[in-house]
Structure 1
Amino acid sequence: MKQIILSLGLMLLFTTIVSAQMHKQTDTVSNAYKPLVSADRLKLLEHIDFIANMQYANSTAFENGTYTGSSFAMNQFRLEIKGYVLDSTVFFRFRNRYTRTPTVQSVDKLDSSVDMAFVGFHLSDKLSLAFGKMIADYGGYEFDTNPINIYQYNTIIANADDFLTGAHFAWNAPKNQQFMFQVLNARTKSFSELYDDIPEITEAKFPAAFVGNWRGSFADGLFSTFWSYSYIQETKGKNVQYIALGNQIKLKKTVIQYDFKYMAGQIDRLGVISDLVADDFSSFIAFDTDYIEHWLRVQHSFVPQWNVSLTAMVSDAYWNGNPETISDNHIRTAWGIIPALEYAPFEKLNLKFFIAYVGRKYKYSSDAKANFGLTDSNTGQLLLGFSSPLKFL
C-alpha cells in the first residue's frame, strides 16, 4: 500500500513539473514571436473594402437580322480596393480593369487598365480633396451607374476618356447638395501619338479638362439631380464643351432615370464622326462636331428579389465643319433599346442573374450615304449571365 501511495505521489510530482515546464515554454514562445498581423492592424481592415466587380454572360449576337455566333465572356471584371486609413481623414481607391489590354500611357505613366488610383483627404465633414487617377465626373446617371449594371453604353460614354489623372475638390453643402470641381489631364496619350499626322492643329501647353458638377437631392431623395459642365482643351484654339443633365425619380418600387447630354467640339474628341467619314482615321480628324444624346432607364421591382428594367437611348451626330457642299450636316442617328429581367436570390449577397437583349440601330442621312458610302445597319445581342460587386472584405 505504501508503494502505491509513493508511486502516485511521484507521478503527481512529475506531472506538476512537466506541466509547469510546458506553460513556461508556451509563455516563452508567445513572448518571443509576434503575430504577423497585429490586433491594431486588423482593426484597419474594418475600414477597407475589397471588391470584385464582375459581369459574366453568354452572348448570342445578330447583325442585320442574321445570327453571327455565340460565346461566353467576362464582360466586366474590375478588382477594387478602397477605404480609409488614419481614422476617416485619409481615404483611397484603386480599381483595375482586367478586361482591357494593359498599356502604359505616355502622359500619366499608368496602365490603361487602371481606372482609379488616388488618395484623398477629408479637410472637414464637408470638404475633401483627392489626387491621382480618377473618374472624370462628367455627370449623368448612365455614367454614375456601376459598369457591371450597364449592358451597353450610349455613344459619348462608350468613346470618351472616362478616367483621367488630376485633382478633385468636393463640398458637401447643406440640404443634401454636393458640388465638385476637377482639374484633369485632357488625355492619357501624348499629342504626338494622337495628332502628329494632322497638320492643322498644334499642341496646347496645358491640355486639361475642367469639370464641375452638382449632385442635388430633394424631398427626402424622391428627386435627385446629377448635372455637370466640362471644358476640355487639347489643342491650341480648339476646345470641347460637354453638358450632362442627369435626373432621377426614386419611388418605393420604381426608379426612373433620364440623362440629356450635349458635346460640342471644335475638334472631334470622341472620334466617332472622324472614323465614319475617313478611310484612315489615324491621319484625319473632323472639326466642329456635335453629339446630342438622350438616355432613359426605368427599373421596377415587382416582387422581392425580381427586377425588370427597360433602357432606351438615342444619339445624334452632326458634322458642322464638313467641307463637302451638302445640305445636311447630320451624319448619323443611333438608337438602342435594352429590356432586362434580373433575379437576386440571396438576401445577404449582392449577386444577381439576368437575361437582357441589347438592340441597336444605326441610320445615316441621305447626304452621308451619298458622300461617304455609309449604309444603315442594326445589331442584336442576347445576354444570359450574372453580375456582382462581390465583396471579400
Structure 2
Amino acid sequence: MIKKSFVYFVLILLPIFSFGQKQTQEGNTAYPPIIPNSKLSLLKDVDVIFNTRMAFDNYFVDNDHVNSVFSLNQLRFEVKGKIHDKVFFRFRNRYTKIADPNTVDNISRSVDIAYLTFDLTPHTKFSFGKIIGDWGGYELLSNPIEILSYNTINNYNENFLAGAAFSYALTDHKNKFNFQLLNSRTKTFQDQFGATVPPGITATETPLAAVGNWKGCFFGGKLETTYSYSYFMDANNANRNFISLGNKYKNKKLVLFYDFQYSKEDLDQKCVVTNIIKSKYAYAAQDVSYVENWIRAEYQIRPKVNLLLTLMNDNSYWNGNPDSGKDSYLLTSYGIIPTVEYSPFSDINIKFYAGYVAKKNNYSTYAQNNFGVTDGTTGQLSFGIIAPLLVL
C-alpha cells in the first residue's frame, strides 16, 4: 500500500516539476529559493514543536457521570532557536484557547510566548517580548501538556505577559538571578473588572509588575530551587504581592516537586473569593489572600512506565470582609491526580496515559451560612496521548 501511494505521488508531482523546469529554461530566469542556501545552516539551531495532548475524557460532578467526549486538550505550536550567535527567539501559540485580540499588549491572548533573547555576556542575557512570568514555581515551569489540571493560583493567573527580562548567572551557573518588568495583565482594567470595580478604585496609568527570581542548584544537581517575589500594580491604591517557593529533588528514578505560593491582593484578581460572595456583594472583593501547596511525585517503575501523583490544595481568605462578625477564611480546595504513563518508543517522545483529576471544595461554615455556597466534588477520568512532537 505504501509503495502504491509513493508511485501515485511521483506520477502526480513529476509533470509539475517538469513544467517548472521548462518554464525556467524558456524564460532564461533563475528564481532564488525563499530560504537562500546560505541561510539553511540556521535551521540546525531551530526547533519546531507541536505540543499536543489529546484524550477521551469522562466528567463527573458529585460522583455522578455528566458526559464523555474526545477532546484535543492541548495544541501549542512552538518554534524556537538561534538566529544569530547572540540572538535567540521563541514563539508559541495555543490553538486550544480563544483568540481575544482586545488586549493591552496588542497581541492575541492565544499567543503564550513571543520574544527575543540577546546574549550580552556569557553570563548575562536580556529578553524582550511576551514572556512567561518567572514566579510560578515548577508547576508553571512544566510543559503545559504535562499538567492535567492546575492549582488555583496558576489556573487563574495571567502567566504570559509582555515585558522585558534581565538574567544573570554566576560563574558556576548553579545560581541564576532573573529580573522582569511586565504588564500586570493582558486585559484592560475595564474588561477585567467591568461593573464590579469597587467605589474609590480607579485604573492606574502604570499597570506593571516587577518580578525577582533566584534559581539554585545544590548537591550535584539533586536539589533545585526557584524562589521569587513579585509586586503588581493592579489599580490606583490596589496592589498585589506574590511569593512563590519552588523545590525540585531528583535521584535516579524518583523526581519530587513542591511549590508553596502566597498571593495577597488588594483587589481580587483570581475572582475566587469574588464569586463566593457575589450573592450579597456586587463588587469585586478587596483585601483577599490565597495560600496554596502543590506536590508532584514521578517514579519510573520500568524503563517505559512512569507513575505520577499530584497533590494540591488552596486556602482562600477575605480579610477585607466588612461584616463585624466575619470569618476571613472562606474556602479550602483539594486536588489529587494519580496518573500512569507508558512510553512505547525509545526514539520519539510519545506517551500514552491514564489519569484521574479529583477535586473537592470545602467551604467554611461562615461562607455556607452567609453566601449560600455548598461543598462539592468534580472528577475527570482521561485516557489519552501526550506528545511534544519535535518535527524539526
Q: How does 1:227-376 map to 2 (within 5 A)?
A: 227-279=227-279, 284-376=283-375
Instruction: Give the fraction of aligned pairs with identical amino acids, expressed as a percent.
Output: 41
User: Which amino acid in the other structure matches residue 268 of structure 2?
Assistant: D
* Contact 1:139 1:213 survives alignment (8 Å): no
1-structure distance, mates of 2:361, 2:188: 32
What corresponds to 1:121 in structure 2?
A: 118
**Corresponding residue for 2:5?**
none
Residue identity in the other structure for 1:141: Y
Equivalent position of 2:100 in the other structure: 103
Find the aligned partners of 2:144 and 2:30 in 1 and give their Cα distance.
49
Distance 1:36 1:333 in 2: 57
Change (3 A) 1:194 1:32: closer
The equivalent of 1:173 in structure 2 is 170
Spell out structure 1 runs of 4+ moving beyond 6 A: 26-31
The aligned runs of 1:373-392 (5 Å cut-off) are: 373-392=372-391
- TM-score, scaled to structure 2: 0.90
Q: Which residue identity does 2:328 align to in structure 1?
A: N
Task: Describe the shift of the 1:305–1:155 C-alpha distance in structure 2 as closer, same or farther (beyond 3 A).
Answer: same
Distance 1:353 1:183, change over 3 A: same
Output the CA distance in 2 between the equivalents of 1:287 and 1:36.
Answer: 56
Q: Measure the CA separation in 2 of the matches of 1:357 and 1:259.
A: 21
Relative distance call for 1:65 and 1:195 in structure 2 (3 A) is closer
What SS class does the counterpart of residue 73 from structure 1 fall into? strand
Q: Which amino acid aligns with 1:116?
A: I
Aligned residues: 366
Where 2:274 maps in the other structure, the secondary structure is: helix
Secondary structure in 1 matching 2:228: strand
TM-score, with length taken from structure 1: 0.90
- 2:46 equivalent in structure 1: 48
CA contact (8 A) 2:242 2:263 kept: yes
Q: Residues 129-144 of structure 1: matches in 2 within 5 Å?
A: 129-144=126-141
**Which residue matches 2:18?**
none
Cα shift at 1:174: 2.8
Structure 2 gap ranges (5+): 1-23
Summarize the Cα distance change of 1:74–1:32 in structure 2 as closer, same or farther, 3 Å threshold. Answer: closer
1:215 and 1:225 in contact (8 A); partners too: yes
Of structures 1 and 2, the larger Rg is shown by: 1
Q: How far 1:31 sits from its partner (Å)?
A: 9.4
What is the one-letter code of the residue matched to 1:161? Answer: E
> In structure 1, how many angstroms separate the alpha carbons of the residues matched to 2:82 and 2:120?
14
After TM superposition, the structure 1 = structure 2 runs for residues 151-162 of structure 1, keeping only pairs within 5 Å, are 151-162=148-159
Asked whether the 8 Å contact 1:355–1:382 carries over to 2, the reply is yes
